[in-house]
Structure 1
Amino acid sequence: MDTTVTHLGTVVIVALRAAGYMESTIGNYQKTIKALTEFAADRGSAYTPELGAEFASMTISPRTGRFSVQRRFDFGRLIDVIDSYVRTGHVDLSIRSRGGGGRQPTCDEFTALNAEWEEDMHERGLAPATREAYGRVARGYLVYLEDQGISDLDDAGPATITGYFTYLLDHGWAQSSLSWQVSNFRPFMKFTGRCDLVDAIALIGARRSHAIIPVLTDDDAERLVNACASSPMISSRDAAITLLALLTGLRACDIINLRLDDIEWRTQTISLIQQKTHNPVLLPLPGLLATRLADYVLEDRPDSDDDHVFLRSVAPPTQLADHASIYVITAATFRKAGVTDVKAGTRFLRHTAASRLLRAATPLPTIAAVLGHASQESTNVYMNVDHDHLLACVLPVPTGARS
């Protein structure tokens, strides 16, 4: 096999064009291949995985002198593709998940502890997104300990807990996000059995705010639905995804993982096991949603062996990558519908679905079932958006207090 960088770059470009990638995407690959060629010029013409790893690690932008997310993605993606060809003789263009998960612990004890934690989360059936959130903050703490010269958890005292969260704040984390990080961190500390470190978490003093949940106004909701029904600028796929989130309250992860067999066309229902809670849920498909979904599946969906309902609209036609993919779709749909003063994620649409159910006097247990909540307590947060019923609870000001 010819392993020169020039030849490998040519192989990758040919594979991209054969898979139907857009020329703009191919152009980005060509720029990265040029950078790799220049990098390899002083190191010999042959490509090696070690050379590739060194190239991929160059994540500092020479223009700004700072870490570049785009540079990390472009360089890492090219090296992944080239390495797949060197290993197997086939260019693997499967989608690579965003993000890198942060630094990994390196000492033997922490590496083993991290692996045990990942295995424990997997055995308990935690959703992938939950495992990633818990794992990221746990790995961050272990790496923080290593940076402090600690390689054994027995040597970590309560001060390392407060020190770690101070470190997070000093390196870009917002104070408002601290409560979420604490919530994600506590299960790991309980797993380690270090009760003193668990107790030290309380010293951080993070408090979760309970702001009133924003929802779509009736006018904006009507404008969005009408656009999904008739606007030629909104594809059937994007309309179906937006309506699915708005009318059923499905989470982004469940929209991404929805499969063709989950749809019962005769009864116009969707039946699935929710990824976050593992609860089964049966949801009706309102007429417009069923129509737009059928338009996509029958007419616009790319030919693919992948049985996920929603596929990428550009090559390769595989399952949507992650929550960010859904956000890009819904945000574009909002913009085309003329609804531009809100942040159009599936969480926002889920809140709107819950508020509409409440206003229709739907019992809380029913809403909890529709939204797939593991506990009805999770549904109570939506009660603060039911303005009409909240007003009915307001007591009049006593007459004596007016004077």
Structure 2
Amino acid sequence: MDTTLKISVENVLDFLKNIPLSDATVRYYRCCYNNILSFCEKKGITRFSTAEAEEFYQFQNNRFQSGKVSKVYILIMRRAAFLLAEFCASGKISWGRKSYNQPKLCPLFAKVRHDFEKICACSLSQGSTVFLSQAVKRFLLFLEADGHRNFSLLNYSDIKHYILQEAPAHKGNMINLTWPLKKFLAFLKERQYVEINAEMLLANPVPSRKKVLPCFSRKEVDAIFSAVDRSTPLGLRDYAIMKLALSIGLRACDIVNLQFNDIDWHRNEINIVQQKTGNSLVLPLLPDVGNALAAYILNGRPKTDNSFVFIRMRKPYHNLKRHAIGANIMKRYMECAGISHSAGDGRTFHAFRRTVGTRLVEAEIPLPTVSQILGHRNLDSTKCYISLHDEGLRICCMDLRSYATTKEGLA
């Protein structure tokens, strides 16, 4: 066995220890690398690249298909293999969520997409930049599948065919399909990759459907919060997260980015810069929210120097990601509360924020004040909560008693 490969394995294990992962997890990874080293010795492999990592994963996947190992086992094996390949290639390791087997663009398309992403990052939020980059990748993969390797033959017909292919997935909001295309094609024209002007083709998409999603009823809120076991560290964390969302209407992205210096315990305030708008927002630290936060910080939060309030319950103690509190928390407690959920029904983590807005409107708080509390940039974003105030809408109904019914059978 090549000693260089063994040294690389030890370097990877040292990196995992310093993240830090738990001792038990590091020992598990060592077992994985013993398997990888044994595989390399049998195959005569002395240089471990992504190709060898993929070969090793396929070997383990075949074992999974035959029922010899579990799915979790091969996923950890895959992660270990690609970490080693990354270290062998660059001498460095980036720890985080990995995407495997993603289709790759040809060199020119990959470069153009990267340049476009950098331009977008200068003027747009991170979320918008990622959204545009992903949409552009889909378009470029479509062009590759159609035989394009550069933009010299790109024409209106290609754009039209792509829109027709993708349109069924964007029935509710065609602008999510046309906006990335418009920006990318304008970028291509500015960089002189193409001469076509797609502005006319993409100028007037179908208007977005305005769907009013529901908020949680008081009964549903009580059921969800009652399902939380606050005798456990996980329960204390999740309870505090949901309290922030329900009591002061923080978005999931702002909750996961909340840091200790954002909380002013003396003034009972929370000071944040909203990720979505970039605007500063000062909110009251209500007693029940403060108590929930204190209970989690003192009795449930793992001991670590991480400056983010909400972190993983297991090593490495990184701050949570938005999807972790959005999907995972809601699934965990809605199932316990007996509340069903299906795609598009509005029963998501963001429904807590809609509940706050609706309750404020029901309490006859002026709309501009509601907008300020929720951190909206304009009133149009707040007006949707009027649609959820049934009693208030009934007052607006026209009295039809003065209009006599003359049609026979209706009188």
TM-score interval, smaller chain: 0.7 to 0.9
Q: In structure 2, the residue corresponding to 1:155 is in which secondary structure? A: coil
What's 2:200 paired with? 199
Mapped partners of 1:26, 1:246: distance in 2? 41
What's 1:118 paired with? 117
Of 358-367 and 281-290, more deviation after overlay is shown by 358-367
Please list the CA deviations of residues 187-243 of structure 1 after superposition, one character each: whole Å capped at 9, or x if unmatched.
33344447732332368x655332231211111223334555x74366211111111
The match for 2:355 among 346, 352, 356 is 352
Q: Which has the larger radius of gyration?
A: 2
What's 1:374 paired with? 377
What's 2:405 paired with? 400
Please list the CA deviations of residues 302-327 of structure 1 after superposition, one character each: whole Å capped at 9, or x if unmatched.
22222111110011111113423442
Mapped partners of 2:78, 2:325: distance in 1? 20
Of 126-135 and 182-191, more deviation after overlay is shown by 182-191
Shift of 1:269: 1.5
Distance 1:130 1:39, change over 3 A: farther
Q: In structure 2, the residue corresponding to 1:199 is in which secondary structure? A: coil
Mapped partners of 2:101, 2:201: distance in 1? 25
Mapped partners of 1:400, 1:215: distance in 2? 37
Mapped partners of 1:298, 1:196: distance in 2? 60
Shift of 1:34: 7.4
One-letter code aligned to 1:239? Y
- 1:65-104 alignment runs, 5 A limit: 74=76, 77-83=79-85, 86=88, 94=95, 96-97=96-97, 99=99, 102-104=102-104
Distance 1:71 1:58, change over 3 A: farther
Q: Is the 8 A contact 1:97 1:322 kept in 2?
A: no
One-letter code aligned to 2:301? R
- 1:13-52 alignment runs, 5 A limit: 15=16, 19-21=20-22, 36=36, 40=40, 43-52=43-52
Tell whether 2:140 aligns with 1:137: no
What's 2:151 paired with? 153
Please list the CA deviations of residues 126-155 of structure 1 after superposition, one character each: whole Å capped at 9, or x if unmatched.
232221111100121122212222234353
Mapped partners of 1:165, 1:198: distance in 2? 14
What's 1:189 paired with? 185
Q: Is the 8 A contact 2:327 2:349 kept in 1?
A: yes
One-letter code aligned to 2:328? V
* Structure 1, unpaired ranges of 5+: none
Q: TM-score, normalised by structure 1?
A: 0.79
Mapped partners of 2:209, 2:199: distance in 1? 22
What's 1:340 paired with? 339
- 1:203-218 alignment runs, 5 A limit: 208-218=208-218
Shift of 1:298: 2.5
What's 2:192 paired with? none
Please list the CA deviations of residues 281-315 of structure 1 after superposition, one character each: whole Å capped at 9, or x if unmatched.
11122211110101122232222222111110011
* Structure 2, unpaired ranges of 5+: 66-70, 190-194
One-letter code aligned to 2:84? I
Mapped partners of 1:375, 1:149: distance in 2? 45
One-letter code aligned to 1:327? A
Mapped partners of 1:57, 1:97: distance in 2? 17
Shift of 1:122: 1.3
One-letter code aligned to 2:377? A
Mapped partners of 2:185, 2:57: distance in 1? 31
Q: Is the 8 A contact 2:50 2:85 kept in 1?
A: no
Q: In structure 2, the residue corresponding to 1:271 is in which secondary structure? A: strand
Q: Is the 8 A contact 1:55 1:75 kept in 2?
A: no
Tell whether 2:316 aligns with 1:316: yes
Q: Is the 8 A contact 2:36 2:81 kept in 1?
A: no
One-letter code aligned to 1:2? T
Distance 1:264 1:49, change over 3 A: same
Q: Is the 8 A contact 2:273 2:281 kept in 1?
A: yes
Mapped partners of 2:91, 2:181: distance in 1? 42
Aligned length: 390
Distance 1:258 1:105, change over 3 A: same
Distance 1:37 1:362, change over 3 A: farther
Mapped partners of 1:22, 1:330: distance in 2? 31
Task: Give the number of the structure with larger relative contact order, counting CA–CA contacts within 8 Å between residues 6 or more apart.
Answer: 1
Distance 1:218 1:70, change over 3 A: same
Q: In structure 1, the residue corresponding to 2:198 is in which secondary structure? A: helix
Please list the CA deviations of residues 135-189 of structure 1 after superposition, one character each: whole Å capped at 9, or x if unmatched.
100121122212222234353222222322444479xx57557653444444333
Q: RMSD in angstroms over aligned alpha carbons?
A: 4.1
Please list the CA deviations of residues 348-399 of structure 1 after superposition, one character each: whole Å capped at 9, or x if unmatched.
2222222112212222222222222233222223332121111222223432
Q: TM-score, normalised by structure 2?
A: 0.78
